[in-house]
Copies of this chain bind each other. A is one copy, B any other.
């Protein structure tokens, strides 16, 4: 675990072609400063996994606008302010894997928890399950879903201690905790880094074992 002095330091070494998990539901929990640093850092040909596909012209939308993302894996790209993604998609300049939101979270949880695959109740009989293995178990039909593992996770959180224990705030928690478990390198931006012992051990949401780098922004 490393406390970084800057967002630039926090995103060092992210390679071209990486799969990057990016937290946030809309702008709540989106690690805007880490994304800005990633744009500056220059990694390209990325696969980005995030619930949405960017809002307005900042954060994830800015990364998309720079042409750094080959493929989006998300549940809800189409929003009133998703014009950057919309344009790229209509021009055929970005690939989209659309995943029901519950499968998105559960597939990342599976990656973090060592589950090889799981039978999901969601999407059965719909176009999003086409071509996927199904199985009836105990009278109900399920679709087999595979883990989504990241090379890197970029997570926006509230506070971290110097060991890397992390707490979130309200609904900005969303995908952060599960993404933190699912990536080889988990990078967390927080509003404040506190001393070891300053977080109540009962309240830690992402334990330090999952966290590789922390930066206060």
Contacts and interface: CB of A to CB of B under 8 A. Distances in A.
A1 interface: no
Nearest to A122: B114
B121 A137 contact: no
A30 interface: no
Interface residues of A, number: 25
A202 to B, nearest CB: 7
A140 B142 CA distance: 23
B116 A169 contact: no
Contact of A117 (B118, B168, B170): B118
A137 to B, nearest CB: 4
Given A115-B118, A200-B203, 7 more contacts: A114-B120, A115-B142, A117-B119, A117-B135, A117-B142, A118-B118, A118-B119
